[in-house]
């Protein structure tokens, strides 16, 4: 393993109904003056990213970058307020499950990604 001058730091968060950041696992370092890269599985409305970018700014982060596996541009409500800097795959505004994404805890363990049929027969 190659030593890194910038060791990664992790935290686990969820956003409350009041759109405030709640840490399930707290930050393990001071972010003041640093660049923070948020890695997210999917960005749709953008409420979580909005709350996190505000939180890290309040903590004194120099800048915040956002990286996501999936991005639903049609559903994104914060155009012009902040950018999604790194997008692996833009997708339509449909609910997807599998590969770690779930619907009420179902479908998370599927090895592929599927579009949820919102109008089953």
Q: Could you give the 3-state DSSP secondary structure of residue 47?
A: helix
**pLDDT at position 28:** 78
Phi, psi of 29 (to 5 degrees): -155, 165
**pLDDT at position 84:** 96
Choose, from 30, 44, 50, 102, the residue flagged as catalytic. Answer: 44
**pLDDT at position 16:** 62
Mean pLDDT, consecutive 10-residue stretches, the chain (121 aa), reads 64 67 76 91 90 90 95 94 95 91 86 84 67
The domains found in the chain, sorted by start residue, are 12-90 (3.40.50.2020), 94-121 (no CATH)
Annotated catalytic residue 30: no
Listed residue (89, 115, 113) closest to 99, CA to CA: 113
**pLDDT at position 48:** 86
What end-to-end distance do the CA atoms of the chain give, in Å?
52
């Amino acid at each position: 393993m190659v030593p890194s001058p910038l060791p990664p730091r992790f935290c686990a968060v969820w956003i409350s109904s009041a759109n405030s950041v709640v840490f399930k696992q707290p930050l393990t370092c001071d972010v003041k003056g640093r660049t923070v890269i948020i890695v997210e599985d999917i960005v749709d409305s953008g409420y979580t990213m909005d709350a996190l970018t505000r939180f890290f700014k309040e903590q004194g982060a120099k800048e915040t970058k956002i990286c996501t596996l999936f991005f639903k541009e049609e559903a994104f409500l914060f155009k012009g307020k902040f950018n999604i800097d790194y997008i692996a795959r833009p997708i339509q505004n449909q609910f997807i499950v599998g590969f770690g994404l779930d619907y009420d805890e179902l479908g998370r363990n599927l090895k592929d990604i599927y579009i949820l049929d919102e109008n089953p027969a």
